[in-house]
Amino acid sequence: MAHSRSLAIPFSVCCAAVALFAIMDATMKGLSLSIGLFNALFWRALTGSLLGIALMLLTRQRWPAPAVLRLHFLRGAVVSLMASLFFWALMRLPLAEAIALSFIAPLIALYLAALLLGERIERTAIVASLLGLLGVAVILSGRMQGGYDWDALLGAAAVLLSAVLFAWNLILQRQQAQLASPVEVAFFQHIVMFALFGLCAMTAGLVPGLAALRLDMPTFHSWLLIAMAAALAFTSLASFAWAYARAEAQYLIPVEYTAFIWAAIIGWLAFGERLTLSTLAGAGLIVAGCLIAARTRRPIEMHEGIA
């Protein structure tokens, strides 16, 4: 009984964090559709960096060692490309469908962990991976019925490529967790993204034909959404860090998949998106594969979402 009570608060905090991340994804989708993907990413990175600087000063964080700094830079670059692909896909896919496809990332991470960390892949994990791939195939088959929607298929491909980067991000996250605080990790993730997007903006000013990378000053309404997206990202990251510090990952990992429920609800309310049977069935297969894989070994924590 005492064990159940000790898990109740971290479990609830983790549930809230997943909901906040789903709202953040929806906010970024709306921003990308209204002011353009590059502007949404750049201005959110700037806002997140300013918030990170304030938190770094308030919590008196030390400057990281060179080896840790290199890890921050690498992960920031990976997350920049990962986020660009994911939010580009969100502009072309329903929110729930994109989230469902992104659930394949923990299964990909199993193989990256074997490649990069020398971990052994168990037979059950291979079966789980095949189950996850079947789920992806079911979701994509729904896209191909009655005619090819190439724009949506490109969006699905972008989500899957983003999931590969997200899997690499999970490996880097495991390395970062033992070397830096959550505030430090969040700050450098945003500042590296801001620097990279800033370089892209300067390049666009010098190279003709890169109008998609042109920066425009957001309106007051857009600034509110940008600030909201940055605050949601930081709050959810901090909530995840708090929850995972107080409960084992095996108890919290299943909570991650409630993101699909939130995405379906928010997608319907905010964008009028319908949940198809193929998306629901495919998501079920992918989640089943992830849960089977998680039970065979210490779960790879996936609680930073698409940032």
Which pLDDT score is estimated for 209? 58
Angle separating helix axes 66-90 and 37-58, nearest 10 degrees: 140
Q: How many CB atoms lie within 10 A of CB 65?
A: 11
The CA distances from residue 307 to 69, 81, 137, 265, in Å, are 19, 11, 26, 20
The CA distances from residue 55 to 48, 52, 188, 235, in Å, are 10, 5, 12, 12
Which pLDDT score is estimated for 32? 92
Q: Answer for the pair 226, 31: CB distance below 8 angstroms, yes or no.
A: yes
Q: What three-state secondary structure class fits 14? A: helix
Where is 119: in which H helix or E strand?
Answer: none
The CA distances from residue 298 to 68, 107, 169, 293, 295, in Å, are 24, 13, 17, 9, 7
Q: Answer for the pair 43, 193: CB distance below 8 angstroms, yes or no.
A: no
- Residue bearing tokens 């940055």: 230
Which pLDDT score is estimated for 148? 56
Please compute Rg for the chain using Cα positions. 19
Q: Answer for the pair 209, 93: CB distance below 8 angstroms, yes or no.
A: no
Which pLDDT score is estimated for 185? 82
236-275 in b/e form (b: 16+ CB < 10 A) is bbbbbbbbbeebebebbbebbbebbbbbbbbbeeeeebeb
CA distance 182 to 169: 15
CA distance 218 to 31: 10
Supply angle C-alpha 97, 244, 135, rounded to 5. Answer: 25
Contacts of 211 (CB under 8 A, 6+ apart): 204
Residue 126 is encoded by which pair of tokens? 């291979």
Contacts of 147 (CB under 8 A, 6+ apart): none
- Residue bearing tokens 């000790």: 6
> What single-letter amino acid sits at 131?
L
Q: How many CB atoms lie within 10 A of CB 169?
A: 29
pLDDT, one tens digit for every residue, the chain (307 residues): 545 556 788 888 888 888 999 999 999 999 999 999 999 999 999 998 998 899 899 988 888 889 889 999 998 999 999 999 999 999 998 898 888 888 887 777 777 767 766 667 677 767 777 777 787 778 877 766 655 577 888 888 999 899 889 878 877 776 776 777 878 888 898 899 999 999 988 887 666 556 667 788 899 999 999 999 988 987 887 787 777 767 766 667 677 778 888 888 999 999 998 888 888 888 888 778 777 766 655 545 555 455 5
28-50 in b/e form (b: 16+ CB < 10 A) is bbbbbeebbbbbbbbbbbbbbbe
